[in-house]
Structure 1
Amino acid sequence: MGDLTEGAAVTAEALGLRGPRGWVYRGVALEAEPGTLAVLAGPAGSGRTSLLLTLGGRMKPGEGHAAIAGLRLPQQAAAVRRLAALGPVPGVNDLEGTLTVAEHLRERRLLHFSRRTPRRSVDQVLGLTGLAADGLPGGLGTPVRTLDPLQALRLSTALALLGRPRLLCVDDAEERLSAEDREAAWILLRAVADSGTTVLATALDAPDHADVTVRLESADAHA
């Protein structure tokens, strides 16, 4: 597809995290090659968000081993954070509704410029995520609060991809989406993986588009 990014391999063995109320997740095994769409599937309370943030270098596991592009977790979590980007993660990096699409893109682009990291152009990320300016009521000047859930997913993903990450982490990829839009969301994430970036996404159930699925149980199963 061109503009290929070298994705990060993701591995985990017997990975677990224990919280104040018991195990959040436990015994997780995962092996995903670069450019894979891997889905962490399970019901609410199964620890899927915590596992996603762990593999993105944002949470410290309590047991087991994991590595992202050969970088061990949690020992090299800071290095993992430099190559892994968070797409939409509700409650962690929500879009600012008062800003426009263009303002969000400008802010994120300036952030990556200041860090002198490799980056994609705005046109590249909009093309990859299918966020067409002519499909928005006010073009790129559209306020984010007026976007529908699928458009918001496309924007959050585009923002994450500006820094050309090797790993993209997306939480609750299907949240608030209709059946038709859920299919469009998975096609979007499949396209990102096909471009070379490894994608980790959480969902209630894994779609047919997934290359690898980790099925998580409810917290009661770890008691």
Structure 2
Amino acid sequence: MALAVIHALIVGASQGIGLGFVQYLLQQQTTAQVYATYRSPSSAEHLLAIADDRLTCLPVDLTDEIQIEEAIAHISRTTPSLHLVVNCVGLLHDGDLQPEKSLRQINCEHLLRYFEVNSIGAILLAKHLLPLLSHGDRSVFATISAKVGSIGDNYSGGWYGYRASKAALNMFMHTAAIEYQRKRAKTILVTLHPGTTDTRLSKPFQRSVPPEKLFSCDRTVQQLMDVIDNLDTVNSGGFFSWDGSPLPW
């Protein structure tokens, strides 16, 4: 990030890529403070077990705007600014909610849940984070998206709810980036495709993934941090893959 000290917020840090970002940042001498959110203590055991004075864990359900407001108010009372925000919250499957293989499987409640978690939560973050990103230093607000959210790259179909909610996420953040550029010129908003990472989210779908294309969380975090570190303000509003290459909308 090319800063003397970094105050960071990792949203959805209980496990997987989010937890990997927390662990990575706490290893950096330039990290002054890391705020990490989790939805449920039962799934955040590893996060809550980290003993580091620089880490503050906050319970936040990203589908609840009041909880988002309360968490950001807490952060605001302890630090005047954030330099890095990474939103790692995402939903692909959960019990009966599974990626659709055909139109016959479309379910209204499931579609609403996809959009609630994958799309709306991120733009609520953008709404409430604006004051904490209002400073003179370079800052980055990155949200984990997915390549399957690319309309231009969709050649196989299926996964209606997940694809559409990630495409909506990309549009939300691209639009927010335009407003941020007008008000906070040094803040960069991007969506990032992490590649297939060995997490609970991808576990049921790893069988067809070649071993060299299945990344560990540590590798994914390092690759995404390399992308983040090399972003410039002209990149704000962009959609990038784990290797830094731009992805089609």
TM-score, structure 2 normalization: 0.32
- Higher RCO (CA-CA < 8 Å; seq separation 6+): 1
Say which structure is richer in strand: 1
TM-score, structure 1 normalization: 0.35
